[in-house]
Amino acid sequence: MSTLAPFTAHNGFALPAIGLGTYRLNGEAGAAAVAAGIDLGYRLIDTAFNYENEGAVGAGITASGVERSQITVTTKLPGRHHGGDRARTSIEESRFRLGVDATDLHLIHWPNPSHDRYSEAWRALIEAQQRGIVRQIGVSNFLPEHLDRIEADGGVRPVVNQIEVHPYFPQTDAVALHAERGILTVAWSPLGRGRELLAEPVIVEIAAAHTITPAQAVLAWHTARGVVSIPKASSAEHQQANLDAASFALDDAEVEAITALGRADGRLFDGDPATHEEM
């Protein structure tokens, strides 16, 4: 395990630099992958209602044998459940599927602004936290105007905003805004989901200089920027390599060189939270 200090939010809530993403880790194989990751040292496990694997993640946590209090499990409220009563039930169902007394970190998955119920969903998360069935609450894919609104409406600032971040889409302004407000940035698809990125000459060169893999160089870039990353990996080899990346330090010039790979069209798909709807 890395000895890197965890990243801390405005209320003292802390996350390790690297967690385990579980998208498409389902069934018995998914549960085994989660258990193996925890045994290797992962203490942040990320899932979502829409991944349809909360049961597998919960089974993996139980099978690992690691004390439950040492593990932070994140899940997410889907867009179709933003309404108050539906949100309340969805939060409870996630807890039951995971087999936990409380979810450690519960996020709104997407704001879905055209439906305009994300503020209602935020109030449902606040209520669940007050009831003790959710420990910490946050959001995913929120833009600054969405963050402003939920804090104004609910009086509670999220501890996390999980957003798309990778070298082709570095989100410099969002990362800076979150840091200013004490909101942790968590990067989904931190490796860009593609081989093209890992073949970029600047990344290959930096990796070679540190005797690490290009993927590790990208994860070290996230860590240097104060961003938590949650790469998905099913094999023990890849899980270990990703976890080890938190122990590699890049210098400022290397961080800037990787950030310079950013593109205006760098998103992986048409996932602009101002218009994208995911129910």
In the chain, % of residues over pLDDT 90: 96
- pLDDT tens-digit series, residues 93-120: 999 999 999 999 999 999 999 999 999 9
User: Does residue 273 carry a pLDDT above 80?
Assistant: yes
Q: Using pLDDT thresholds of 50, 70 and 90, give the confidence band for residue 4.
A: confident
- The DSSP element (H or E) to which 107 belongs, if any, is strand 103-108
- pLDDT tens-digit series, residues 157-204: 999 999 999 999 999 999 999 999 999 999 999 999 778 999 999 999
- pLDDT tens-digit series, residues 42-84: 999 999 999 999 999 999 999 998 999 999 999 999 999 999 8
The whole-angstrom distance between residue 43's C-alpha and the CA centroid of its chain comes to 13
118 tagged catalytic: no
Q: Residues 213, 244: contact at Cβ < 8 Å?
A: no
Locate 77 and state its tokens: 């409220």
Does this model's pTM top 0.85? My answer is: yes
Residue count of the chain: 279
Q: Residues 212, 26: contact at Cβ < 8 Å?
A: no
- pLDDT tens-digit series, residues 5-17: 899 999 999 999 9
User: Does residue 2 carry a pLDDT above 90?
Assistant: no
CA 256 to CA 252: how far, in whole Å? 6
Quick one: pLDDT at residue 39? 97
Quick one: pLDDT at residue 195? 85
Q: Residues 159, 13: contact at Cβ < 8 Å?
A: yes
Q: Which residue, among 138, 126, 146, has the nearest Cα to 162 in the 3D structure?
A: 138
Exposed/middle/buried for residue 2 (C-beta within 10 Å: 0-12, 13-18, 19+): middle
Q: Can you list the domains of the chain with their CATH numbers?
A: 14-193+227-233 (3.20.20.100)
Write down the catalytic residue from 23, 42, 51, 118.
51
User: Does residue 1 carry a pLDDT above 90?
Assistant: no
